[in-house]
Amino acid sequence: GAGVSQSPRYKVTKRGQDVALRCDPISGHVSLYWYRQALGQGPEFLTYFNYEAQQDKSGLPNDRFSAERPEGSISTLTIQRTEQRDSAMYRCASSQGLAGGLSYEQYFGPGTRLTVT
Amino acid sequence: QKEVEQNSGPLSVPEGAIASLNCTYSDRGSQSFFWYRQYSGKSPELIMSIYSNGDKEDGRFTAQLNKASQYVSLLIRDSQPSDSATYLCAVYAGGTSYGKLTFGQGTILTVHP
């Protein structure tokens, strides 16, 4: 079946513009996660949804970052008034979300490379 | 102290050898442990998960977990050049951390012919 998809794959924007990054999880996966990955580092947690509920947004760097998943499927990560330091690879992952250890096997999408000029 | 620590490498092994990748974590209550493989320019790919102490084998891969020592490792037997990648250790702490995974910085593995 289809994996996690993300769009756009590449986004170049000017400082001060807003951007919206989209994630379409694996069909039937309840949980959806956003991470940010710097070069040479592991992914860093941003936020997490269970169905449409945002369960944890502790990793969002500041209030310019927000995320939603209104119908419990596709999610959008929005960055307002972008700054150069926002430039990174933004990765989305999904998992089944059932109780027990298997629920946290997360599968990553291809990522969106954001460049703020 | 980082929550999940890995030796960044690079770790270089000859083809056919055993590659041993190590990871330590700081949260003693951590419940689930994962190894991801990431080829250059690609996204992380889940290759192993382990939840209880001991060994778990899957093909050429063996994950080992020792919760008392807060240590998890990945062994790759009969290493192939195609195994050359960055290997990421990820830990789920459980409790109110929900599904959040904490990743190490990754170990670069190079398998040379």
d(CA A64, CA A90): 15
A14: distance to nearest CA of chain B, Å? 24
Are B105 and A59 inside 8 Å of each other by CB?
A: no
Q: Look at residue A2 and tell me whether its pLDDT is greater than 90.
A: no
Question: Mean pLDDT for chain A?
Answer: 93
Are A106 and B97 inside 8 Å of each other by CB?
A: no
Q: Which of B51, B97, B103 has the CB atom closest to A101's CB atom?
A: B51
Q: Which of A40, A50, A108 has the CB atom closest to B43's CB atom?
A: A108
**Per-residue model confidence (pLDDT) at position A103:** 62
Q: Residue B107's Cα: distance from chain center in Å?
A: 8
Are A48 and B100 inside 8 Å of each other by CB?
A: yes
Residues 6+ apart with CB under 8 A from B67: B28, B30, B53
Q: Which of B32, B43, B101 has the CB atom closest to A45's CB atom?
A: B101
**Per-residue model confidence (pLDDT) at position B29:** 86
Q: Which residues of A touch B32 (CB under 8 A)?
A: 101, 104
- SS3 of residue B97 by DSSP: helix
d(CA B98, CA A12): 33
Minimum CA–CA partner of B96 in chain A? A56
Helix (H) or strand (E) holding A36: strand A31-37
**Per-residue model confidence (pLDDT) at position A117:** 97
**Per-residue model confidence (pLDDT) at position B14:** 98
Q: Residue B62's Cα: distance from chain center in Å?
A: 10
d(CA A41, CA A43): 7
B90, B60 in Cβ contact below 8 A? no
Q: Look at residue A64 and tell me whether its pLDDT is greater than 70.
A: yes
Residue-level pLDDT, tens digit, chain B, 113 residues: 669 999 888 999 999 999 999 999 999 888 899 999 999 999 999 999 999 999 999 999 999 999 999 999 999 999 999 999 999 999 997 766 667 899 999 999 999 99
A-B contacts at Cβ under 8 angstroms: 67
**Per-residue model confidence (pLDDT) at position B98:** 66
Are A95 and B104 inside 8 Å of each other by CB?
A: no
Q: Look at residue A19 and tell me whether its pLDDT is greater than 60.
A: yes
Residues 6+ apart with CB under 8 A from A68: A54, A75, A76, A78
Q: What is the pLDDT of residues A67-106, one digit of tens each?
A: 999 999 999 999 999 999 999 999 999 998 755 555 678 9
**Per-residue model confidence (pLDDT) at position B1:** 60
Distances (CA, A) of B93 to A8, A15, A93, B90: 31, 36, 17, 10
